[in-house]
Homo-oligomer: A and B are copies of this chain.
Amino acid sequence: MEAILNYGGLNISDEIDLKKTALIIVDPQNDFLSEEGVVWDLVGEGVKETKVVEHLVELKAAAKEAGIPVFYSPHYYSDEEFKSWSHLNPIDKLMFDRKMFRKGGWGADFHPKLKPDDNTIVLSPHKALSNFWTGDIGIQLRQRNVNTIILAGMSANLCVESHLRDAIESGFDVLVVKDATTGPGPEATQAAYTNYGLIASEVVTTDDVVERFKK
């Protein structure tokens, strides 16, 4: 097993063209990142231990400094959707029962330290796990000649991992920032890490990215 998990050992950071790179932050919203968020009981410990908010703040600032655009891929549901969707899987059911990401509500709003600024492009929301299926991420990146994605945000094994998988299918290079994400519990985070090691072009840390952005 070790064999395959260490197989890649890819290191593409130094080769990437920063002019064709974007930082994508998935779901930087209160319901995930604030103590009053509706799933804080599930992700809060990981968010604090991994310093997810602090790392996202660092990444966002470093990207801006380097002239690299930041894209937010948010997650919203309307009351009408809470009422009428009829094919919920377990994670949908959890979100729907708790009215997570309720459009217009506080929980769906961006974390106070992660408000969009003039370097932030807010994508159309994703409605299941990936913006590549239900949002505008593909065209927005291609129209700006992006071919490399730095990926971070919430949660590790669900929306972030789905964005990763679809970005790879779409032909992007993807570097996942492992200390700028976490899952709903250690087992979920570990699942994400295992899969990142196989699927991401490279797995990096916030420090790696900040360092790279300075060059």
Q: Give chain A's interface residues, CB within 8 Å of chain B.
A: 1, 3-5, 7-10, 41-42, 80-81, 84-87, 89-91, 93-94, 121, 124-125, 127-130, 133-136, 138-145, 157-158, 161-162, 165-166, 168-174, 184-188, 190-192, 194-195, 197-201
Known pairs A127-B139, A128-B169, A190-B191; A199 contacts B4 (CB<8 A): no
Contact yes or no, B124 A124, CB < 8 A? yes
Closest B residue, CB atoms, query A132:
B169
**Majority secondary structure of chain A interface residues (helix, strand, loop or mixed):** helix
Contact yes or no, A187 B135, CB < 8 A? no
Contact yes or no, B197 A90, CB < 8 A? yes
Complex Cα distance, B3 from A94, in Å, reads 10
Min CB distance, A134 to chain B, in Å?
A: 4
Min CB distance, A140 to chain B, in Å?
A: 7
Min CB distance, A130 to chain B, in Å?
A: 6
Closest B residue, CB atoms, query A197:
B90
Closest B residue, CB atoms, query A126:
B136
Q: What residues on B are CB-neighbors of A199 within 8 Å? A: 89-91, 129, 158
Complex Cα distance, B200 from A91, in Å, reads 9
Among B7, B140, B174, the residue within 8 A (CB) of A127 is B140
Contact yes or no, B136 A127, CB < 8 A? yes
Among B94, B130, B142, B161, the residue within 8 A (CB) of A171 is B142
Q: What residues on B are CB-neighbors of A200 within 8 Å? A: 89-90
Contact yes or no, A42 B93, CB < 8 A? no
Q: What residues on B are CB-neighbors of A158 within 8 Å? A: 195, 198-199
